[in-house]
């Protein structure tokens, strides 16, 4: 019986190990059920098909035990799922059955991904037993080992590497495969149980920012002083106009209790007009938009500059707001000691360094949006009140991402929309949330903090990296505090923890280059993967520790974005750990024991003890939260909260509540960025501008590279996966197959028809996948949905899985030192 049957992706030894385990161990119990379902699932029930047990026996009244659990992935929503369990096997998923259809009290209906969670739990690619690599890294050759051997090897290697290279050589990679859990959470890495273990033995190299939003995370510090959101979407019931810059909740935050529900309901209640700016006619545009404005990826800042030109020349600006709350929009508002003509207005009017007026015509050539539309839209935006402006994070995942992120903020500033009901800051939508307690991770004494995207570089040349390469000081990681600092990274990365993470290979930039760096196991000497699936990244680990899924352990799931609904989920244990898997907390307890820090690590608590502790802690801040026992029975706790009006205090009383920027105001001209522009060395093509100018950096429209690779390739977040999570579910692959979106215009010139297999390629890599020829994408743009599992013909060869990161770059953005994974020039051809 073959349990791993994924062609080239399946490591040989796993097959034997897997079957060995399955016949030997605890699986007989439910394999009988799965066997009973083979008639339904077909002969491949144990192979290509998922191991979804149970025939359609209907509702087994009285026999079913309903257990509350959660879908813990990084979509930005968080859904409860109710698992129907019969004889230790999950036979069905039911949705939340509490609440109603009103804002703030809504039922939280899981999306397509959560509804397929049984195919994640009973996946054919479940990791079943501890394994160590026996061939070269990535060769897929494994040998089964005991838990004890695994713990001993890891503890010994950690001790040796820390002795030799210091705690800075140990790195917990970014991973969001278990985001949403509390004790078992994988993100942020510094808040995970692994961080707690490392902090028991002197800490580890931490990171700041993340693949989702790194450019805005850095840029917003300079603009608004610290992390800021916009208003929560439920507040758009008070808006007359809603602008969405690449914001696409209907394909990302898809929960029926989250932003899909909130945006639909708010629009229905208010009748506000919605304009979507996006290269794709997204499902959000399809459902919500009264107008779709397609534009070239990475050019939002040029569009805003065009808007600004209209608003300046037609005197449509909110002067009061700019004078009172902002710094550096015009020359009169500039900080002292800065040369003339560096204000944003000077940039727009052509008085800056480039001596180019940012007329609507100028903007139209860059963005593709006709100049007349820019004029009309600018007038509408400036003369309608209130206007809610939010951005999705796609617009800032570009090589010029920091300025991209700031452009919608600037637009919100020019019309004075900040801090008022119905308005917003131009950042991502906020949400009201219960202050649930986090798992305590102790203190990490390691000072240097790595920009999360540079870990591959830090494997090769981390030693000696300073603030000028983005190293921050753990004492204060705010961008404004790290314009300069005095910490230096003193070691390369020698050990990587990979927990619930597919960012070692699949979700990182430039897969082919990354794999090359990883293949040298004298550099990063050990990679330990804790996961429940044989992910693409797991293939490149040295030791694999099989994790359980959320359904196999008890935990709490804190809420995510759901407008003004506050909630928390008691994610109870529905079934016993499958195969020889073990919850991460137990695994780390075993390693802590070998390291001699078991008591410090556990404080004598079991996982359930910790959950009890976390409920008690949370009840201090959330008085309505039931007790542990009551919460366990109830499964979900909900309470209606107030809408978020971001920066309201500042708007109401700027003198009393100044922003944490150097000026205390919104820094349209950032004095810290100005200082950095004089001090920080820049990678090729990078530039720091103190105001959110449009910069045509690497692989933007107009790049000479377009002669070879004329198309801009983005990677929209996909309904069939959350990043790469759920990417191996047969139901989801059927419902939402991986394709390359190509406009009809670009397809016809290349003789490509819908469904044709095409090759998408650039100098970094190539993939083959079916084309989706569509009217729903701007000409000159293609999109390969993010997160498909890398499945190369051979190492470095053509990727049949359609993983976008064979095309992306490791090149960091200018000052966030982050990912610009949507800035990819490519060519596409029929194969």
Partner 1 sequence: MTTFKQLGFYIDQANCTGCKACQTACNDKHDLPVGVKWRRVAEYAGGSTERNESDGTFRANVFSYYTSISCSHCEDPICVEVCPTQAMHKGDNGIVSIDPKVCIGCRYCEMACPYSAPQFNAALGVMTKCDFCADFLAQDRAPACVAACPSRVLDYGEVEDLRRKYGTENGLEPLPDPNITRPNLVIRPHKDAQASGRGTGAIANPREI
By the criterion CB under 8 A, which residues form the site for partner 1? 37-43, 49, 52, 54-56, 58-59, 61, 92-95, 101, 109-112, 115-116, 118, 250-251, 254-257, 260-261, 264, 281, 283-284, 286-287, 292, 294, 361, 364-365, 368-371, 373, 719, 730-737, 743-745, 755, 774-776, 778-779
- Torsion of the alpha carbons at 22, 26, 28 and 29, rounded to the nearest 10: -150
User: H or E element: which one contains 371?
Assistant: helix 371-383
| Complex with partner 1: residue 41 or 183, whichever CB lies closer | 41
Helix axes 193-200, 584-595, angle to 10 degrees: 10
Q: Residues 40, 217: contact at Cβ < 8 Å?
A: no
| Complex with partner 1: residue 17 or 732, whichever CB lies closer | 732
The CB-of-515 to partner 1 minimum distance in angstroms stands at 30
Pull the structure tokens for residue 502: 């597919």
The CB-of-128 to partner 1 minimum distance in angstroms stands at 23
SS3 of 640-665:
ECCCCCCCHHHHHCCCCCCCCCCCCC
The Cα 743–Cα 293 span in angstroms is 15
| Complex with partner 1: residue 41 or 646, whichever CB lies closer | 41
The CB-of-802 to partner 1 minimum distance in angstroms stands at 15
User: H or E element: which one contains 761?
Assistant: strand 757-761
The CB-of-378 to partner 1 minimum distance in angstroms stands at 16
The CB-of-301 to partner 1 minimum distance in angstroms stands at 17
The CB-of-17 to partner 1 minimum distance in angstroms stands at 26
The CB-of-319 to partner 1 minimum distance in angstroms stands at 31
| Complex with partner 1: residue 103 or 543, whichever CB lies closer | 103
| Complex with partner 1: residue 283 or 341, whichever CB lies closer | 283
Q: Residues 234, 262: contact at Cβ < 8 Å?
A: yes
The CB-of-264 to partner 1 minimum distance in angstroms stands at 5
The Cα 614–Cα 607 span in angstroms is 10
The CB-of-741 to partner 1 minimum distance in angstroms stands at 11
* Residue 228 CA to its chain's centroid (Å): 17
| Complex with partner 1: residue 54 or 482, whichever CB lies closer | 54
* Residue 560 CA to its chain's centroid (Å): 13
| Complex with partner 1: residue 267 or 594, whichever CB lies closer | 267
The CB-of-290 to partner 1 minimum distance in angstroms stands at 9
The CB-of-650 to partner 1 minimum distance in angstroms stands at 35
The CB-of-748 to partner 1 minimum distance in angstroms stands at 12
The neighbouring-strand residues paired with 667 are 327
The CB-of-706 to partner 1 minimum distance in angstroms stands at 12
The CB-of-370 to partner 1 minimum distance in angstroms stands at 5
The Cα 391–Cα 409 span in angstroms is 9
The CB-of-710 to partner 1 minimum distance in angstroms stands at 12
The CB-of-113 to partner 1 minimum distance in angstroms stands at 8
| Complex with partner 1: residue 621 or 745, whichever CB lies closer | 745
For tokens 């914001």, the residue is 247
| Complex with partner 1: residue 202 or 780, whichever CB lies closer | 780
The CB-of-550 to partner 1 minimum distance in angstroms stands at 16
Contacts of 189 (CB under 8 A, 6+ apart): 172, 173, 174, 175, 195, 206, 207, 497, 499
| Complex with partner 1: residue 281 or 613, whichever CB lies closer | 281
- Torsion of the alpha carbons at 187, 193, 199 and 205, rounded to the nearest 10: -30
Q: 362 vs 303, 378, 700, CA distance in Å?
A: 9, 15, 16
Give alpha helix (H) positions in 109-192: 117-121, 147-165
| Complex with partner 1: residue 367 or 404, whichever CB lies closer | 367
Q: Give the HSE-up count for residue 384: Cα atoms under 13 Å, Cβ half-sphere.
A: 22
| Complex with partner 1: residue 514 or 728, whichever CB lies closer | 728
Q: Residues 516, 828: contact at Cβ < 8 Å?
A: no
For tokens 């990883």, the residue is 518
Contacts of 606 (CB under 8 A, 6+ apart): none
| Complex with partner 1: residue 675 or 696, whichever CB lies closer | 696
Pull the structure tokens for residue 787: 């997160």
| Complex with partner 1: residue 250 or 539, whichever CB lies closer | 250
E-strand ranges in 575-651 read 636-640
The DSSP annotation for 230-255 comes to --BGGGGGG-SEEEEES--TTTSS--
The DSSP annotation for 556-568 comes to EEE----TTEEEE
User: H or E element: which one contains 569?
Assistant: strand 565-571
Q: Residues 667, 327: contact at Cβ < 8 Å?
A: yes
The Cα 12–Cα 16 span in angstroms is 7
The CB-of-229 to partner 1 minimum distance in angstroms stands at 22
| Complex with partner 1: residue 38 or 421, whichever CB lies closer | 38
Q: Residues 74, 188: contact at Cβ < 8 Å?
A: no
Q: Residues 81, 635: contact at Cβ < 8 Å?
A: no
| Complex with partner 1: residue 49 or 824, whichever CB lies closer | 49
The Cα 815–Cα 820 span in angstroms is 12
E-strand ranges in 410-483 read 448-451, 472-473
| Complex with partner 1: residue 225 or 297, whichever CB lies closer | 297
Query: What is the three-class DSSP state of 419?
Result: coil
Contacts of 596 (CB under 8 A, 6+ apart): none
| Complex with partner 1: residue 47 or 654, whichever CB lies closer | 47
The Cα 121–Cα 115 span in angstroms is 12
The Cα 312–Cα 323 span in angstroms is 14
The Cα 520–Cα 463 span in angstroms is 17
């Amino acid at each position: 019986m073959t349990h791993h049957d994924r062609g080239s992706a399946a490591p040989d030894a796993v097959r034997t190990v897997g079957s060995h385990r399955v016949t030997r161990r605890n699986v007989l119990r439910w394999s009988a059920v799965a066997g009973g379902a083979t008639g339904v699932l077909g002969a491949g029930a144990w192979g290509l098909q998922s191991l979804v047990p149970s025939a359609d026996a209907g509702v087994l009244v009285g026999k079913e035990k309903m257990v509350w659990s959660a879908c813990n992935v990084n979509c930005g929503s968080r859904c409860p799922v109710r698992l129907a369990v019969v004889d230790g096997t999950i036979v069905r998923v039911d949705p939340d059955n509490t609440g109603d259809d009103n804002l703030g009290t809504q039922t939280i209906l899981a999306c397509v991904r959560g509804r397929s969670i049984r195919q994640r739990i009973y996946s054919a690619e479940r990791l079943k037993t501890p394994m160590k690599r026996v061939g070269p890294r990535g060769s897929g050759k494994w040998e089964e080992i005991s838990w004890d051997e695994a713990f001993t090897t890891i503890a010994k290697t950690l001790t040796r590497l820390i002795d030799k290279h210091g705690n800075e050589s140990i790195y917990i990679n970014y991973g969001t495969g278990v985001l949403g859990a509390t004790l078992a959470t994988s993100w942020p890495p510094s808040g995970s149980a692994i961080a707690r273990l490392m902090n028991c033995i002197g800490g580890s190299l931490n990171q700041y920012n993340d693949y989702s939003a790194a450019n805005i995370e850095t840029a917003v510090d300079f603009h608004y002083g610290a992390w800021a959101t916009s208003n929560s979407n439920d507040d758009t019931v008070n808006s007359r106009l809603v602008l969405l810059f690449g914001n696409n909740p209907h394909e990302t935050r898809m929960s029926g209790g989250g932003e899909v529900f909130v945006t639909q309901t708010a629009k229905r209640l208010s009748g506000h007009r919605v304009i979507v700016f996006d290269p794709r006619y997204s499902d959000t545009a399809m459902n919500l938009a009264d107008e779709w404005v397609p534009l070239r990826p990475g050019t939002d800042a040029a569009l805003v500059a065009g808007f600004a030109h209209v608003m300046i020349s037609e005197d449509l600006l909110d002067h009061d707001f700019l004078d009172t709350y902002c710094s550096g929009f015009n020359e009169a508002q500039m900080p002292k000691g800065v040369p003339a003509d560096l204000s944003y207005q000077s940039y727009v009017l052509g008085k800056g360094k480039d001596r180019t007026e940012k007329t609507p015509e100028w903007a139209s050539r860059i963005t593709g949006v006709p100049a007349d539309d820019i004029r009309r839209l600018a007038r509408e935006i400036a003369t309608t009140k209130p206007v809610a402006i939010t951005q999705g994070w796609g617009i800032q995942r570009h090589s010029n991402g920091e300025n991209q992120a700031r452009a919608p903020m600037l637009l919100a500033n020019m019309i004075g929309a900040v801090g008022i009901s119905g308005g917003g800051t131009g950042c991502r939508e906020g949400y009201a949330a219960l202050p649930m307690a986090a798992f305590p991770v102790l203190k990490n004494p390691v000072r240097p903090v790595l920009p999360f995207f540079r870990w591959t570089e830090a494997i090769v040349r981390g030693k000696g990296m300073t603030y000028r390469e983005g190293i921050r000081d753990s004492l204060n990681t705010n961008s404004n505090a790290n314009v300069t600092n005095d910490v230096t990274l003193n070691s390369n990365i020698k050990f990587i923890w990979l927990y619930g993470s597919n960012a070692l290979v699949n979700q990182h930039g430039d897969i082919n280059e990354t794999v090359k760096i990883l293949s040298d196991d004298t550099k990063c000497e050990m990679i330990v993967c804790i996961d429940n699936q044989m992910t693409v990244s797991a293939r490149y680990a040295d030791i694999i520790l099989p994790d359980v899924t959320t359904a196999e352990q008890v935990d709490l799931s804190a809420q995510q974005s759901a407008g003004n609904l506050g909630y928390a989920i008691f994610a109870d244990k529905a079934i016993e750990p499958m195969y020889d898997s073990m919850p991460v907390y137990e695994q780390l307890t075993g390693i802590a024991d070998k390291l001699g820090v078991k008591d410090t690590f556990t404080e004598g608590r079991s996982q359930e003890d910790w959950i009890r502790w976390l409920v008690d802690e949370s009840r201090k801040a959330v008085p309505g939260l039931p007790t542990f026992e009551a919460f366990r029975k109830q499964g979900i706790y909900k309470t209606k909260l107030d809408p978020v009006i971001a920066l309201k205090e500042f708007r109401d009383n700027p003198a009393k509540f100044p922003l944490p920027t150097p000026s205390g105001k919104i820094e349209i001209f950032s004095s810290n960025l100005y200082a950095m522009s004089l001090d920080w060395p820049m990678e090729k093509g990078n530039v720091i501008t103190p105001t959110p100018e449009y910069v045509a950096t690497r692989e933007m429209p107009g790049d000479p590279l377009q002669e070879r690779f004329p198309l801009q390739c983005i990677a929209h977040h996909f309904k069939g996966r959350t990043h790469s999570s759920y990417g191996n579910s047969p139901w989801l692959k059927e419902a939402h197959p991986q394709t390359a979106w190509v406009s009809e215009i670009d397809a016809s010139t290349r003789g490509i028809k819908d469904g044709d297999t095409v090759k998408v390629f650039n100098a970094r890599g190539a993939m083959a996948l079916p084309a989706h020829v569509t009217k729903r994408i701007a000409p000159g743009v293609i999109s390969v949905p993010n997160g498909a599992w890398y499945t190369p013909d051979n190492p470095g060869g053509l990727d049949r899985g359609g993983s976008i990161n064979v095309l992306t770059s490791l090149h960091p953005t200018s000052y966030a030192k982050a990912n610009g994974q949507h800035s990819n020039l490519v060519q596409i051809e029929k194969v």
